[in-house]
Amino acid sequence: MPLTLRPYTPSDEDTAIELWRRTWAHHFPHIDFNARVAWWRERWRQDLIPVAHVVLAESDGTLTGFVTVDPKTHYLDQIVVAPEHWGQGIARALLDEAKRLSPGGLELLVNKDNARAIRFYEKHGFAYSGEDKNPVSGIAVNRMNWPPG
């Protein structure tokens, strides 16, 4: 299937939030992401949309992923790819777009227990730059930067 990247529009909100919910629920089934949807919608509207560039990935008109990056702070908050599309190069395409949008560098936090994501970021040029805590959950995270430095 050909992959298309396009900018987010307000009409994409419900579909993007549902993709976030089901992707994170698939990856961390022990966490009730259904209970977090209202919180995420508020965070999406108040914290991300006003400052971040949000780029959607679509295959045959279906949302398959998105990335959020703030080019001013260089913070990459989310790369989300539908589980049924994992391994198809969508995350790489979204990460490449984030690098294009923020050529001065990127920084992100990744859960220490998310080995798959850590491997992905390392494979694509990110380096560990320290430990931190997720500001919302308090969970231990790795801080990673691209380019390393």
Q: What does the mean pLDDT of the chain come to?
A: 92
Quick: pLDDT tens for 17-56.
999 999 888 878 887 888 888 988 999 999 999 999 999 9
Kindly report the pTM of this predicted structure. Answer: 0.91
Topology annotation, domain 1-102: Aminopeptidase (3.40.630)
Question: Residue 110: is its pLDDT beyond 90?
Answer: yes
Compute the distance between CA of residue 34 and CA of residue 31 in angstroms, rounded to an integer. 9
Quick: pLDDT tens for 86-104.
999 999 999 999 999 999 9
pLDDT score for 1: 64
- Grade residue 148 by pLDDT with cuts at 50, 70 and 90: low
pLDDT score for 149: 59
In sequence order, the 6+-apart residues with CB closer than 8 A to the CB of 108 are 75, 76, 77, 121, 126, 143, 144
Residue 14 CA: distances (Å) to CA of 8, 41, 116: 12, 9, 27
Q: Given CA atoms 10, 13, 19, 25 in this order, what sign does their dihedral have?
A: positive
Residue of 80, 100, 70 whose CA lies nearest to 27: 80
pLDDT score for 30: 82
Which phi and psi (to 5°) does residue 32 adopt?
-85, 90
Domain with CATH 3.40.630.30 in the chain: 1-102
